Amino acid sequence: MDRYVICGGERLSGQVKISGAKNAVLPILAGTLMTKNAVLKNVPNLSDVAYTVEILENLGMNITRENDKMNIINSGIVNTVLPTELCSKMRSSILFMGGMLASAGEVTIPYPGGCSLGNRPIDIHLKAVEKMGVEIAESSNGIYCKVRSLQGTKIKLPFPSVGATENIMLAGVLAKGETTISNCAIEPEIVDLAKFLNSIGAKISGAGTDTIVIKGVNELGGCCHRVIPDRIEAGTFMIAVAGAGGNVKIQDVIPEQLRPVISKLKEADVEVKEDENSVTVCSDGFIANTDIKTMPYPGFPTDMQAQFMGLMCGGLGTGIINETVFENRFMQVPEFIKMGADITIEGRCAVVKGVEKMKGAKVRATDLRAGAGLVITGLRAEGVTEITDIHYIDRGYENFDGKLRGIGADIIRINEQAVQ
């Protein structure tokens, strides 16, 4: 198992380029189950993408990759049982449900895994596809779903779940008639999935608003699609610069999608300049702590909460973080405390009292974004920080240490096996 070793205190400067969005490419890859062929560009090199590709290959797809370009050929699905081990690594494996039901008419999905962020039920997904004419049987091995007749219908979500919205979109594309999803998620990744599906011949309107309408079609073709940049990776770099201090241009971003992070950083006295495809962050490392409440888009993203908490640990004054999206997303807190943080948790709120100096320590990445939060904190802490379990970070950050070194951070990746 690899680890990061960080010597804190270096200011960051220069430019960094953001990769394609993990949370956009994963549902799009599930959507390729319905194409004959597709070319995807700006595909990030992440372990979650590699696992997803392995699952697709297991189902019979032929996939080749050259740098950030992926060629996908689908000459027919040969298997409808998803591999347990691979699915147990990723929550997003549930996204295969919609694509498989539309293209193969049935699927057995092991219970999805991924980062443990408290109870992560899939009831909204299951109820929706049931309403569309799918029979569901649950067993200890997973969920068996079979299409009786895939019918468009009206579905109102009890919560704007990102994954459930995507699954219904995938299932609705080849369903008979019209599917309407109200109170749906409006995240940019939903808009990108709709753009991809429309470019292979789907008829989806309203993506990016709270009501999506999908007119079922009989057949889909191929396409070439460029995945949107990763707003969470971009936000993570912005926070890293804010904390460590320095001046960095973060390139290939869509500033509009970073609005809540930009406004919170400005509230914290950090200078952020927006251009068409980039943001530049300039900071002296002094942060005025502020309050954060995570919300579905366009609110402050839950996927940026741990990183912002890391920033607040060494800020001035007290700030409160209210996590409204996931019930157990403060697993990073004991690790931050090892680095000297003053944090108390009260239910879904964390009270963060800024301390004068965070100190390097041996810590463990407890999930993907918690891991990123620890890296950011290590960059500005006094002394050396060692982070283990960085396989979580590999799920969502392409060449994280390399990109950070490129802007002046003192971070190395140590391969345990090579050391022994």
Measured in degrees and rounded to the nearest 5, phi and psi for residue 255 equal: -55, -35
Give the ranges where 256-367 is alpha helix by DSSP (H): 259-267, 305-313, 333-338
- How many beta carbons lie within 10 A of that of residue 273, not counting itself? 13
Do 102 and 76 form a contact (C-beta atoms < 8 A)? no
User: Measured between alpha carbons, how far is 45 from 17 in angstroms, rounded to an integer?
Assistant: 14
For residue 188, the minimal CB distance to ligand UD1 (Å) is: 11
User: Measured between alpha carbons, how far is 18 from 20 in angstroms, rounded to an integer?
Assistant: 7
Closer residue to ligand UD1 in complex, CB, 120/405: 120
Do 240 and 278 form a contact (C-beta atoms < 8 A)? no
- Residues 6 or more apart whose Cβ sits within 8 Å of residue 127: none
For residue 366, the minimal CB distance to ligand UD1 (Å) is: 15
Question: Token pair of 266, please?
Answer: 């400005």
For residue 287, the minimal CB distance to ligand UD1 (Å) is: 24
By Cβ distance, which residue is nearest to ligand UD1?
Answer: 163
For residue 357, the minimal CB distance to ligand UD1 (Å) is: 31
For residue 350, the minimal CB distance to ligand UD1 (Å) is: 17
Closer residue to ligand UD1 in complex, CB, 364/395: 395
Residues that bind ligand UD1 (CB under 6 A): 23, 26, 91-92, 120-125, 159, 161-164, 189, 302-303, 325-326
Closer residue to ligand UD1 in complex, CB, 92/278: 92
Distance of CA 59 to the CA centre of its chain: 24
- Residue corresponding to tokens 């940019």: 188
Closer residue to ligand UD1 in complex, CB, 91/249: 91
Go through 3-17 and write b for each residue having 16 or more CB atoms within 10 A of its CB, e for each that does not: bbbbbbebbbeeebe
- Residue corresponding to tokens 């904190």: 377
Q: What is the CA radius of gyration of the chain?
A: 21
Q: Which of 115, 145, 184, 223 is catalytic?
A: 115
Active site residue 282: no
Active centre residues (catalytic): 115
